[in-house]
Amino acid sequence: MIAAAFYGAAAHATVVSNFETDSEGWEVVSFTDFSRNDYTEKGRYAVNHILGGGHPGNYIAATDPDNGDFTFSAPAAFLGNQTAAQALSYDLTYRDGAVNWQTTDLMLVGGGQRLLWRRDPAIVPNSGWTRVSVNFAPSSEWRVATTDGAFATIGDFSTVLSNLSGLYIHAEYTDGIVETAGLDNVRLGAVPLPGAAALFGFGLLGLNILSSRRRAAA
């Protein structure tokens, strides 16, 4: 019962896009230059809904629309009060050009603040599918406002996630060419994941059995 309630609370906080039917409101937003900390928006563009070739099923894709840094921008379902969210995961494919442009991988905006995440070691997507996972918790990979800003604190995450107005997944990994990136299985939610919740439940079951045996022995 406790394990079910625990998992139920986690599941309630989870938002998922798997793009089986359509693009689910996702779009492309281009920014001037992440590497120079210039987050001026250059333009908004439609994504392509691709039938087949996803991980699995269908997915969305976008081709570099301008000379800025293009991102996949999350729809309203992923925004607003997301204080229950503790992690984000997604699958990324990248089918043009050698990877040579490494900068911010994820940007969260909310409450008048910006959080920037860059994975270490760097994400190197390819023509297959690369799973990316990130926890919303203080670490050396999270910065406030700029790429060399202060390390994000628990308070910073609370500020941004309590009124999340933008979630941007970086899609550009090659400098100087027109490239195409694909996105699938975006999941914003609580941790631990269901497998861990199940283990938590089995642990409680084990404790209950052990307690019953001790009472019987007494």
Structural domain count of the chain: 1
pLDDT confidence of residue 187: 98
In a domain, 79, yes or no: yes
Averaged pLDDT for residues 67-74: 96
In a domain, 210, yes or no: no
Residue 18: which CATH number? 2.60.120.430
In a domain, 197, yes or no: no
In a domain, 212, yes or no: no
Mean pLDDT of the chain: 85
pLDDT confidence of residue 100: 85
In a domain, 199, yes or no: no
pLDDT confidence of residue 173: 92
Helix axes 194-217 and 2-12, enclosed angle (nearest 10)? 160
- pLDDT above 80: residue 216: no
pLDDT confidence of residue 169: 98
Which of the residue ranges 103-107, 111-115, 187-191, 198-202 would you say has the lowest mean pLDDT?
A: 198-202
Q: Write out pLDDT tens, residues 98-111.
A: 888 899 999 999 99
- Which of 87, 85, 93, 41 lies closest to 66, judged by CA? 41
Note down the domain range covering 107.
Answer: 14-190
Cis before 65? omega within 30? no
Q: Write out pLDDT tens, residues 112-143.
A: 999 999 999 999 999 999 999 999 999 999 99
In a domain, 171, yes or no: yes
In a domain, 132, yes or no: yes
Q: Write out pLDDT tens, residues 141-180.
A: 999 999 999 999 999 999 999 999 999 999 999 987 888 9
Please state the φ and ψ torsions of residue 201, each to the nearest 5 degrees: -65, -45
